[in-house]
């Protein structure tokens, strides 16, 4: 039997704090007996009220996963497209009610959706995804758009033509890169690989399925905004490892770990320069962990 536990945290970066800007990153998570969702969103610094947009997008994504769970009848292969469709409907209604413009909604979306049968991690924009296995190994992937022009889900309602034009107009051109690292020991470069995605693939969103077999091997699945790659004097790989080094896993485990990590980084530099957010699902396999505790 699998039990899910979630936590999330977001923190303002030094560049926004010193300039009097609000935190434009947001995160949210939750779980029930059979499903869990963890989501993050990163508002565009050059937008307007994207701190509001990031919150709306994260909460809309979370609600979309709940809607999907209620109506779920088939394969998990459809989860990303169905959640995206519901997400767009909720965003559209919220924008009309609050009279928000496109420039308020320019924010990325990253989420984890897990069930007893597996799940998916999905990224619309940029950010970092990390899987921590029960063996202690960590697999992490950094997604980065060319020329720092990420895709925002709000473009699906309007602005898509301008976004495509900003990337040169060729839908098959490689515009989104992925740096993937598998860390199984102290060598941070173990299993290093790179690949890229076309403009078309990036717009559709990058989905990473998690099978039931893989789920049983995992202890944590985390998604970060790209602020984790902008910590003064610290590589993104080491920051991810640090933020997943949970001392205890009860209560607000991710919040405690990130606050402590940020405090340590601020002693040697500015800490996070950009806003940063994390959302995590802890996977408790009661069969395995019960045997370990009894032994």
Give how far the C-alpha of residue 181 lies from the chain's centroid of Cα atoms, to the nearest Å: 17
Q: What is the DSSP letter of 295?
A: -
244-to-26, 223, 280 alpha-carbon distances in Å: 18, 11, 9
Range in 39-48, 101-110, 207-216, 260-269 with the lowest mean pLDDT: 39-48
CATH of the domain at 224: 3.60.40.10
Q: Is the pLDDT of residue 295 over 60?
A: no
Maximum mean pLDDT: which of 12-26, 111-125, 176-190: 111-125
HSE, side-chain direction, 13 A CA sphere, residue 227: 35
- What is the total count of domains within the chain? 1
Range of 17's domain?
2-294
Which two tokens mark 245?
């080094």
d(C-alpha 10, C-alpha 17), whole Å: 13
- The rounded percent of the chain whose pLDDT value lies above 90 is 74
Contacts 24+ apart (CB under 8 A), 58-62: 58/26, 58/27, 58/28, 58/109, 59/28, 60/87, 60/90, 60/91, 60/94, 61/37, 61/87, 61/109, 61/111, 62/28, 62/29, 62/30, 62/37, 62/111
Q: Is the pLDDT of residue 50 over 70?
A: yes
Using N-to-C axis directions, what is the helix angle for 79-98 and 50-71, rounded to 10°?
130
Q: Is the pLDDT of residue 188 over 60?
A: no
Average confidence (pLDDT) over 69-80: 77
Q: Is the pLDDT of residue 292 over 50?
A: no
Q: Is the pLDDT of residue 46 over 80?
A: no
Report the DSSP pairing between strands 193-198 and 174-183: antiparallel
Q: Which residues, other chains included, contact 226 with Cβ-Cβ below 8 Å and sequence gap of 6+?
A: 42, 108, 126, 127, 128, 144, 274
Q: Give the model's pLDDT for residue 71.
A: 78
Q: Give the model's pLDDT for residue 185.
A: 63
Q: Give the model's pLDDT for residue 19.
A: 85
Banded pLDDT at 289 (limits 50, 70, 90): low
Q: Give the model's pLDDT for residue 271.
A: 95
Q: Give the model's pLDDT for residue 195.
A: 95
Region of residue 191 (left: phi > 0; alpha: psi -120 to 50; beta: else): left
Average confidence (pLDDT) over 151-180: 95
């Amino acid at each position: 039997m699998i039990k899910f536990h979630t936590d999330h945290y977001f923190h303002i970066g030094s560049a926004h704090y010193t300039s009097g800007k609000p935190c434009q990153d947001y995160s949210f998570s939750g779980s029930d007996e059979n499903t869990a969702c963890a989501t993050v969103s990163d508002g565009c610094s050059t937008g307007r009220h994207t701190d509001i947009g990031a919150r709306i997008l994260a909460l809309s994504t979370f609600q979309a996963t709940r809607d999907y769970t209620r109506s779920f009848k088939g394969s998990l292969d459809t989860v990303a497209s169905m959640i995206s469709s519901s997400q767009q409907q909720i965003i559209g209604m919220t924008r009309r009610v609050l009279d928000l413009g496109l420039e308020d909604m320019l924010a990325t979306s990253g989420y984890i959706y897990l069930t007893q049968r597996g799940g998916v991690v999905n990224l619309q924009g940029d950010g970092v995804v990390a899987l921590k296995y029960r063996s202690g190994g960590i697999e992490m992937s950094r997604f980065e758009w060319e020329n720092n022009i990420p895709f925002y889900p709000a473009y699906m309602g309007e602005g898509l033509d301008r976004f495509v034009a900003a990337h040169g107009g060729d839908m098959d051109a490689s515009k989104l890169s992925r740096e993937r690292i598998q860390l199984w020991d102290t060598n941070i470069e173990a299993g290093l690989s790179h690949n890229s995605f076309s403009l078309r693939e990036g717009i559709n969103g990058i989905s990473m399925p998690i099978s039931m077999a893989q789920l049983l091997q995992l202890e944590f699945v985390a998604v970060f905004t790209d602020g984790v790659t902008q910590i003064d004097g610290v590589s993104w790989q080491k920051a991810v490892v640090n933020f997943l080094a949970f001392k205890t896993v009860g209560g607000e485990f991710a919040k405690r770990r990130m606050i402590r990590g940020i405090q340590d980084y601020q002693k040697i530099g500015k800490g996070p320069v950009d806003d940063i957010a994390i959302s995590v699902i802890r996977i408790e396999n009661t069969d395995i962990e019960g045997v370990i505790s009894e032994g």
